[in-house]
Amino acid sequence: MEAVSGQNLNSFKEEWLVNTDFPYEKAMAYLYENSASIQRYQAIADAIGTTETYYKDSIMTSFWNDSTSVHLKKQFILDFHSKISDTTLSELLQAKEIMPRQYLAISRDPIFKTLKPLFESMLTDDSYVTKETVFYKLWVEFPEERSKYLNILKDEIGLPSKKYTYALVSFGNGYTKL
């Protein structure tokens, strides 16, 4: 590479390939300078910290609707799920994008009644991780509805480890399908 470019790449090699500490600040500065999505995300993060609650939902909805990156939406859920009203969160996650819904399922505790319909809808998502996580959380938070959740998932097998099926058998006491 040095021969073709005519540049000495020793400092690059040392910093990015040999060094055991990742140059996080330098990488973030580069991304911030060169990525409009990252710039917008940072602006949202800054605004959320200083904005009245009513306007936060509007700012976040705008970001969500404008963003095409599922990965940014996933990070958005991880960073801001507790700052978004339940109504807005339900609206944002009506689209069946797996990653943002999965990360909400993983990160949100407890499940409030206002989010119960959203979490129940996740029992039919295309992700076993989402289903398993949501099943357990609904099981704990809404014990009066356990048979309903078991019935929704009775034909599921889950991952190759069948951990999911074993959970259904353990929780269900009447379900013996393996």
DSSP secondary structure letters along 8-75: --HHHIIIIII-SS--HHHHHHHHHHH-HHHHHHHHHHHHHHHS-HHHHHHHHHHHHHH---HHHHHH
- Model pLDDT for residues 56-106, shown as the tens digit of each residue: 788 888 888 888 888 888 888 888 888 888 888 888 888 778 888 898 888
Name the more confident of 29 and 155.
Answer: 29
The pLDDT of 3-31, averaged and rounded, is 91
Q: Are 168 and 154 in contact (CB under 8 A)?
A: yes
- Model pLDDT for residues 40-58, shown as the tens digit of each residue: 888 888 888 777 766 778 8
Does the pLDDT value for residue 158 go beyond 80? no
Using a pLDDT cut of 90, give the percent of the chain over it: 19
Does the pLDDT value for residue 176 go beyond 60? no
pLDDT grade, residue 177 (50/70/90)?
Answer: very low
- Distance CA(126)–CA(122), nearest Å, equals 9
Instruction: Give the model's pLDDT for residue 91.
Output: 84
Does the pLDDT value for residue 175 go beyond 50? no
Q: Are 158 and 128 in contact (CB under 8 A)?
A: yes
Instruction: Give the model's pLDDT for residue 22.
Output: 93
C-alpha 36: how far from its chain's center? Answer: 21
- Distance CA(30)–CA(42), nearest Å, equals 14
Domain boundaries, the chain: 82-178
- Distance CA(54)–CA(46), nearest Å, equals 16
- Model pLDDT for residues 95-153, shown as the tens digit of each residue: 778 888 898 888 888 888 888 999 999 999 988 888 888 998 998 899 899 889 888 88
